[in-house]
A and B are shown apart, each in its own frame.
Chain A
Amino acid sequence: MLKGKGISSGIGFGNIVVLKKVERKIEKKTIENEQVADELERLHKALNQVIHETEIQMKNLSGTEADIMQAYLMIMQDPSLISETENAIKNSKYNAEYAVEVGFNSVIQIFENMDDAYMASRSRDILDIKDRVLGKLLNEETIDLTNLNLNTIIVTTELTTSETAKLDFKNVSGIITEVGGENSHTSIMARTHTIPAITKVEDATKIFKDGESVAINGTSGEIYVNPTEEEKQKLLDLEKQLEEEKTELEKYKNTESMTKDGTKVKLYANIGLPADAEIAVNNTAEGVGLLRSEFLYMDSDTMPSEESQFEAYKQVAEIMKDKEAIIRTLDIGGDKELKYLKLEKEANPFLGYRAIRLCLDNPTIFKTQLRAILRASAFGKLAIMFPMISSVEELRSAKQVLEECKQELDNENILYDKDIQVGIMIEIPSAALIADKLAKECDFFSIGTNDLIQYTVAVERGNEKISKLYTKYHPAVIKLIKQAIDGAHSANIICGMCGEAAGDPTFIPLLVGLGLDEFSMNANNILRARKTINNLDKEACVKLSEEILQMASAEEVEKRLKQ
């Protein structure tokens, strides 16, 4: 059995199809004068085929991806590239394949030698195009992704956007990739189409052979090659069990998010990409409590333009319709870097130049995003949330920039939602401690437990050595949560939570007891959370929370909540 990281749950059985780059050999031939015209024609035919395919792919794309494809198209028709390549045929008398090598490589070299890391990495784009043109010249068969056999399990390094755009989903029963994270294109696409997927399987394209029979568990990340009857049975049982649980939870699609004694709460979804909003709606989320806007910045090679951001936010607004969708402004820095934004290495990145601090310091970046969100707010019910707020001054400065953006849009006669709600993340202890003051100056809170825990107990999230100390059950963390909720309520604003704790059935009773209004979680956990809430009694939860607040240790709290 092999193991990777499960990124889209479910069980899949099928046969492997490996998408990998063919290893090819380019022969260098010298041609006769009379062959020049033929070779030129072959070159242009291959180029035109690739151009044509790219144009078709572009129809399914928008924003940054479409921009990249547009640049590809221009490169393929670039006069200097074409003349280099043609000259290799006309003057040096090379065959078309070798001429492509010569012509493209000369351009690739220019880029590779540039001192700008971004430009140097563009050489890969040209390499990509060269590969495709050579594939055409050599009449290589490429796997037709639009027409796959039933029960295909795709194995690849990482699915590219153009591959995803043509994938024949109904026949794909699983995806295995070598690289990619939870928010990669592959995983979001797999989750949207409920296809089990596993990533971080090293050398997958070398290990697996075409046609091999495999069974995968997208939840645990387990892969069985040529599974035995016993293994198959085990997975089938698991699949049945998952199905039953799912069916059991289905009935909570129609119930209200309300306790037995009638206290209503809101169940929202956390999403990482606009398309995830579909999953949120399918799971009956009552809104989006956190749209991490980082995908726009991480997936791009340049700072995303106002236009491409606008398109993405508009997509979310339109999918969610009259339901609220809270967009968190750029939360970069710390552990998340951007290749085109040169940030200095810091000794303590989590205590450093990140999120709102970085945005307030770079008004162009900040304003571009705020303008995009405001413009998109005309198409649905969007809200803005600032991350990493530690003081009233920061909130005021951020709101000031937002006001400037509104003013600009007013002057340009561009529509936006004038009543757009503005909230903040409560993820720094200082913010929780002055929650009552902050609440007077914004419309809602959302507690980010992941960071709140790390800043409260001084434990870095990713540090394995001290991971035992990182716990939401710490009485200090619970006190800060209470303080945030009480602070919000003192100013009659809503308090939500978008950390992982909000979706944990053992933690929900405590949160209900403390008076949390909105719970935002991974969309796949919403029905389970609603089931939990439907079976709670508010009064009992309040008693429970009072009991918990008296406790001295995380151990006691955890034991009591898991009782």
Chain B
Amino acid sequence: MVKEKITLKNETGLHARPASELAKLAGSFTSTIKLHVNGKTVDAKSILGIMSAGIKYNTEIEIECDGEDEEKALSEIIKGFENNFGEEQK
């Protein structure tokens, strides 16, 4: 199992579109992927789970990946967060 903490830098929060991108990305790995946020744990492969976590700007998120492709999953997801899932690239 690998995990890492990041902070959401998307000013509009993790709304429908980036949430669906994240769920899509997470779904492409075989590992189980969880997000620990605001004291809750949600499944990163579930758009509803992600949206229900109410992740806002500057929220700290711990990403936890467990499975065969955990290393790759973690780095790809962090990369996704870093470029705001294609939104407002700067």
Contacts and interface: CB of A to CB of B under 8 A. Distances in A.
Interface of A: 67-68, 70-71, 73-75, 78-81, 107, 110-111, 114-116, 118-119, 122, 125-126, 301-303, 305-307, 340, 364, 368, 408
A364 B88 contact: yes
Top-4 shortest CB links A-B: A71-B16, A74-B47, A74-B20, A67-B17
B16 A122 contact: yes
Contacts of A368: 88
Query: Which one of B45, B86, B88 has the highest number of Cβ atoms from chain A below 10 Å of its Cβ?
Result: B88
A71 B54 contact: no
Nearest to A118: B15
Interface in B32-47: 43, 45-47
Given A74-B47, A368-B88, 17 more contacts: A67-B16, A68-B16, A71-B16, A71-B17, A73-B20, A74-B20, A74-B24, A115-B54, A119-B52, A301-B15, A301-B16, A302-B15, A305-B87, A306-B88, A307-B86, A340-B12, A408-B90
B49 interface: yes
B46 A302 contact: no
B48 A114 contact: no
Contacts of A68: 16
Contacts of B45: 79
Given A306-B88, A306-B89, A70 B20 contact: yes
Interface string B10-25: 0111011101100110
Contacts of B87: 305-307
A464 to B, nearest CB: 37
A81 B48 contact: yes
A368 B20 CA distance: 21
Given A70-B20, A71-B16, A303 B11 contact: yes
A364 B16 contact: no
B29 to A, nearest CB: 14
Nearest to B19: A71
B17 A107 contact: no
A118 B51 CA distance: 11
B20 A111 contact: no
A184 to B, nearest CB: 21
Contacts of B16: 67-68, 71, 122, 125, 301-302
20 contacts: A70-B17, A70-B20, A71-B19, A73-B20, A74-B24, A75-B48, A79-B43, A79-B46, A80-B49, A107-B52, A110-B48, A116-B54, A119-B52, A119-B54, A302-B12, A303-B11, A306-B88, A364-B88, A368-B88, A408-B90
A58 to B, nearest CB: 13
Given A302-B12, A306-B89, A307-B86, A114 B54 contact: yes
A525 B17 CA distance: 39
A125 B56 CA distance: 20
A79 B27 CA distance: 10
Contacts of A80: 43, 46, 48-49
B15 A75 contact: no
Contacts of B20: 67, 70-71, 73-74
Contacts of A125: 16
A107 B86 CA distance: 27
Contact of A111 (B11, B52, B56): B52
